[in-house]
Amino acid sequence: MRLRNKPWAKDMLRENDQYVIQDPELQKGKWNEVFGNNNPIHIEVGTGKGKFITGMAKANPSINYIGVELQDSVIVGALERILEDPSPNVKLLNQNAEELTTFFEQGEISRVYLNFSDPWPKNRHEKRRLTYKTYLDRYKELLIKNGEIHFKTDNQGLFEYSLKSFSEYGLLLKFVSLDLHNSDFEGNIMTEYEEKFSAKGQRIYRSEVQYRS
Protein backbone atom coordinates (compact mmCIF):
# COMPACT_ATOMS: atom_id res chain seq x y z
CA MET A 1 0.00 0.00 0.00
CA ARG A 2 1.50 3.34 -1.06
CA LEU A 3 1.52 5.63 1.93
CA ARG A 4 0.82 9.34 1.68
CA ASN A 5 1.61 11.33 4.74
CA LYS A 6 -1.70 12.50 6.20
CA PRO A 7 -0.88 14.32 9.44
CA TRP A 8 -4.60 14.97 10.05
CA ALA A 9 -5.53 11.27 9.88
CA LYS A 10 -4.95 10.45 13.57
CA ASP A 11 -7.20 13.31 14.73
CA MET A 12 -9.92 12.43 12.25
CA LEU A 13 -9.89 8.78 13.38
CA ARG A 14 -10.10 9.84 17.03
CA GLU A 15 -12.93 12.30 16.39
CA ASN A 16 -15.08 9.63 14.72
CA ASP A 17 -15.05 7.13 17.55
CA GLN A 18 -18.56 5.86 16.73
CA TYR A 19 -16.94 4.19 13.69
CA VAL A 20 -13.27 3.87 14.66
CA ILE A 21 -13.36 2.09 17.99
CA GLN A 22 -10.79 3.49 20.40
CA ASP A 23 -9.29 1.22 23.10
CA PRO A 24 -10.82 -1.93 21.57
CA GLU A 25 -9.45 -4.08 24.40
CA LEU A 26 -12.19 -2.51 26.58
CA GLN A 27 -14.81 -4.06 24.26
CA LYS A 28 -13.43 -7.60 24.53
CA GLY A 29 -16.42 -9.91 25.04
CA LYS A 30 -18.85 -7.02 24.44
CA TRP A 31 -18.84 -6.49 20.66
CA ASN A 32 -22.52 -7.36 20.39
CA GLU A 33 -23.19 -4.38 22.66
CA VAL A 34 -21.05 -2.17 20.40
CA PHE A 35 -23.27 -3.13 17.43
CA GLY A 36 -26.46 -3.26 19.52
CA ASN A 37 -27.49 -6.72 18.27
CA ASN A 38 -26.46 -10.39 18.34
CA ASN A 39 -25.67 -10.73 14.64
CA PRO A 40 -22.52 -12.62 13.62
CA ILE A 41 -19.33 -10.58 13.37
CA HIS A 42 -16.84 -10.93 10.50
CA ILE A 43 -13.47 -9.18 10.51
CA GLU A 44 -11.18 -8.21 7.64
CA VAL A 45 -7.49 -8.11 8.57
CA GLY A 46 -5.53 -5.51 6.58
CA THR A 47 -8.67 -3.74 5.39
CA GLY A 48 -6.85 -0.94 3.53
CA LYS A 49 -9.18 1.83 2.32
CA GLY A 50 -12.27 -0.23 3.12
CA LYS A 51 -13.86 -0.85 -0.28
CA PHE A 52 -14.50 -4.52 0.55
CA ILE A 53 -15.70 -4.14 4.14
CA THR A 54 -18.09 -1.27 3.35
CA GLY A 55 -19.42 -3.13 0.28
CA MET A 56 -19.96 -6.29 2.33
CA ALA A 57 -21.73 -4.30 5.05
CA LYS A 58 -24.18 -2.84 2.50
CA ALA A 59 -24.74 -6.23 0.84
CA ASN A 60 -25.25 -8.13 4.12
CA PRO A 61 -27.07 -5.93 6.66
CA SER A 62 -27.58 -8.83 9.10
CA ILE A 63 -23.82 -9.36 9.53
CA ASN A 64 -21.58 -7.01 11.47
CA TYR A 65 -18.17 -6.17 10.00
CA ILE A 66 -14.97 -4.90 11.56
CA GLY A 67 -12.03 -3.75 9.43
CA VAL A 68 -8.61 -3.95 11.10
CA GLU A 69 -5.84 -1.84 9.56
CA LEU A 70 -2.43 -0.87 10.89
CA GLN A 71 -1.81 2.33 8.93
CA ASP A 72 -3.74 5.42 10.01
CA SER A 73 -3.13 7.16 6.67
CA VAL A 74 -4.81 4.22 4.90
CA ILE A 75 -7.72 3.37 7.21
CA VAL A 76 -8.76 7.01 7.13
CA GLY A 77 -9.86 6.26 3.53
CA ALA A 78 -12.22 3.60 4.91
CA LEU A 79 -13.56 6.10 7.43
CA GLU A 80 -14.22 8.60 4.63
CA ARG A 81 -16.23 5.97 2.75
CA ILE A 82 -18.31 5.26 5.85
CA LEU A 83 -18.91 8.96 6.51
CA GLU A 84 -20.07 9.45 2.90
CA ASP A 85 -22.53 6.55 3.08
CA PRO A 86 -22.93 5.26 6.64
CA SER A 87 -23.93 1.69 7.58
CA PRO A 88 -24.79 0.71 11.16
CA ASN A 89 -23.03 -2.67 10.78
CA VAL A 90 -19.45 -1.63 10.10
CA LYS A 91 -16.71 -0.52 12.50
CA LEU A 92 -12.97 0.04 12.13
CA LEU A 93 -9.94 -0.69 14.28
CA ASN A 94 -6.69 1.19 13.64
CA GLN A 95 -4.64 -1.62 15.16
CA ASN A 96 -2.01 -4.26 14.50
CA ALA A 97 -3.45 -7.73 13.86
CA GLU A 98 -0.73 -9.12 16.14
CA GLU A 99 -2.92 -7.86 18.99
CA LEU A 100 -6.21 -9.39 17.81
CA THR A 101 -6.62 -11.69 20.79
CA THR A 102 -6.53 -8.73 23.19
CA PHE A 103 -9.60 -7.27 21.41
CA PHE A 104 -11.82 -10.32 20.94
CA GLU A 105 -13.00 -13.15 23.18
CA GLN A 106 -12.99 -16.74 21.95
CA GLY A 107 -16.08 -17.29 19.81
CA GLU A 108 -16.89 -13.60 19.25
CA ILE A 109 -15.93 -13.69 15.57
CA SER A 110 -17.50 -15.98 12.94
CA ARG A 111 -15.24 -15.35 9.98
CA VAL A 112 -11.87 -13.79 9.09
CA TYR A 113 -11.29 -12.20 5.68
CA LEU A 114 -7.76 -11.72 4.33
CA ASN A 115 -7.63 -9.77 1.09
CA PHE A 116 -4.45 -9.10 -0.88
CA SER A 117 -2.31 -9.41 2.23
CA ASP A 118 1.28 -8.20 1.93
CA PRO A 119 3.22 -11.16 0.43
CA TRP A 120 6.51 -10.74 2.34
CA PRO A 121 8.31 -12.89 -0.28
CA LYS A 122 11.64 -13.24 1.55
CA ASN A 123 11.91 -16.43 3.63
CA ARG A 124 13.23 -14.49 6.61
CA HIS A 125 9.94 -12.50 6.68
CA GLU A 126 7.69 -15.57 6.70
CA LYS A 127 6.43 -14.81 10.21
CA ARG A 128 4.95 -11.51 8.98
CA ARG A 129 2.63 -13.21 6.48
CA LEU A 130 -0.95 -13.07 7.73
CA THR A 131 -1.35 -16.77 6.90
CA TYR A 132 1.69 -17.87 8.97
CA LYS A 133 0.89 -20.36 11.72
CA THR A 134 1.08 -17.85 14.59
CA TYR A 135 -1.63 -15.81 12.83
CA LEU A 136 -3.68 -18.99 12.33
CA ASP A 137 -3.35 -19.52 16.10
CA ARG A 138 -4.59 -15.97 16.74
CA TYR A 139 -7.60 -16.35 14.45
CA LYS A 140 -8.43 -19.68 16.11
CA GLU A 141 -8.42 -17.98 19.53
CA LEU A 142 -11.15 -15.54 18.55
CA LEU A 143 -13.24 -17.56 16.10
CA ILE A 144 -16.34 -19.62 16.81
CA LYS A 145 -16.04 -23.40 16.60
CA ASN A 146 -15.63 -24.34 12.90
CA GLY A 147 -14.96 -20.68 12.04
CA GLU A 148 -13.64 -19.82 8.58
CA ILE A 149 -10.92 -17.82 6.85
CA HIS A 150 -11.72 -16.45 3.38
CA PHE A 151 -8.62 -15.39 1.48
CA LYS A 152 -8.07 -13.61 -1.86
CA THR A 153 -4.84 -12.57 -3.52
CA ASP A 154 -3.27 -11.92 -6.91
CA ASN A 155 0.05 -13.30 -5.64
CA GLN A 156 0.59 -16.92 -6.72
CA GLY A 157 3.53 -17.42 -4.35
CA LEU A 158 1.57 -16.21 -1.32
CA PHE A 159 -1.46 -18.27 -2.37
CA GLU A 160 0.56 -21.48 -2.65
CA TYR A 161 2.35 -20.76 0.62
CA SER A 162 -0.98 -20.10 2.34
CA LEU A 163 -2.66 -23.29 1.08
CA LYS A 164 0.34 -25.22 2.44
CA SER A 165 0.21 -23.34 5.75
CA PHE A 166 -3.57 -23.97 6.07
CA SER A 167 -3.09 -27.64 5.25
CA GLU A 168 -0.18 -28.13 7.69
CA TYR A 169 -2.33 -26.48 10.37
CA GLY A 170 -5.09 -29.02 9.71
CA LEU A 171 -7.66 -26.61 8.27
CA LEU A 172 -10.33 -28.00 5.98
CA LEU A 173 -10.25 -26.65 2.41
CA LYS A 174 -13.85 -25.79 1.50
CA PHE A 175 -13.38 -23.73 -1.66
CA VAL A 176 -10.55 -22.93 -4.01
CA SER A 177 -10.45 -20.93 -7.23
CA LEU A 178 -7.33 -20.32 -9.29
CA ASP A 179 -9.15 -17.72 -11.41
CA LEU A 180 -11.96 -16.13 -9.42
CA HIS A 181 -13.10 -13.66 -12.06
CA ASN A 182 -13.53 -16.45 -14.63
CA SER A 183 -15.31 -18.80 -12.24
CA ASP A 184 -18.98 -19.21 -11.35
CA PHE A 185 -18.46 -17.72 -7.87
CA GLU A 186 -21.31 -15.30 -7.15
CA GLY A 187 -21.47 -12.19 -4.99
CA ASN A 188 -17.79 -11.25 -5.16
CA ILE A 189 -17.13 -7.79 -3.71
CA MET A 190 -13.91 -6.35 -5.08
CA THR A 191 -11.22 -4.73 -2.97
CA GLU A 192 -9.10 -1.76 -4.11
CA TYR A 193 -6.17 -4.02 -4.91
CA GLU A 194 -8.39 -6.52 -6.68
CA GLU A 195 -9.71 -3.79 -8.99
CA LYS A 196 -6.21 -2.58 -9.70
CA PHE A 197 -4.67 -5.99 -10.40
CA SER A 198 -7.57 -7.48 -12.34
CA ALA A 199 -7.66 -4.37 -14.57
CA LYS A 200 -4.05 -5.24 -15.46
CA GLY A 201 -5.18 -8.74 -16.45
CA GLN A 202 -3.81 -10.52 -13.39
CA ARG A 203 -5.76 -13.52 -12.18
CA ILE A 204 -7.24 -13.58 -8.71
CA TYR A 205 -6.90 -16.59 -6.40
CA ARG A 206 -9.44 -17.33 -3.68
CA SER A 207 -9.83 -19.94 -0.94
CA GLU A 208 -12.11 -20.69 2.00
CA VAL A 209 -10.80 -22.81 4.85
CA GLN A 210 -12.43 -23.96 8.07
CA TYR A 211 -11.12 -24.83 11.53
CA ARG A 212 -12.04 -28.36 12.54
CA SER A 213 -12.84 -27.35 16.13
Examine residue 74 and tell whether it contacts ligand SAM (CB under 6 A): yes
Q: 96 labelled as ligand-binding?
A: yes
Active site residues: 118
Q: Is 118 annotated as a binding residue?
A: yes
Residues counted in the chain = 213
- Judged by CB under 6 A, does residue 191 bind ligand SAM? yes
Q: Is 168 annotated as a binding residue?
A: no
Residue 126 makes contact with ligand SAM by CB under 6 A: no
**Which of these segments, 82-90, 112-120, 140-148, 165-173, binds ligand SAM (CB under 6 A)?**
112-120
Label each residue of the chain as H, E or C.
CCCCCCCCHHHHHHHCCCCECCCHHHHCCCHHHHHCCCCCEEEEECCCCCHHHHHHHHHCCCCEEEEECCCHHHHHHHHHHHHHCCCCCEEEECCCHHHHHHHCCCCCEEEEEEECCCCCCCHHHHHHCCCCHHHHHHHHHHEEEEEEEEEEECCHHHHHHHHHHHHHHCCEEEEEECCHHHCCCCCCCCCHHHHHHHHCCCCCEEEEEECCC
The response to whether 105 counts as a known ligand-binding position is: no
Residue 193 is assigned to a ligand binding site: yes
Q: Does residue 70 belong to the site contacting ligand SAM (CB under 6 A)? A: yes
Q: Which of 20, 97, 109, 171 binds ligand SAM (CB under 6 A)?
A: 97
Q: How far is the CB of 212 from ligand SAM (least distance, A)?
A: 25
- 48: contact with ligand SAM by CB under 6 A: yes
Nearest partner of 62 among 113, 110, 100, judged by Cα: 110
Question: Does position 104 bind ligand SAM by CB under 6 A?
Answer: no
**Binding flag, residue 101, ligand SAM (CB under 6 A):** no
Residues tagged in the binding site annotation for substrate: 122, 154, 191-194
Q: Which residues bind ligand SAM (CB under 6 A)?
A: 1, 45-48, 68-71, 74, 96-98, 115-118, 191-194
Residues tagged in the binding site annotation for S-adenosyl-L-methionine: 44, 69, 96, 118
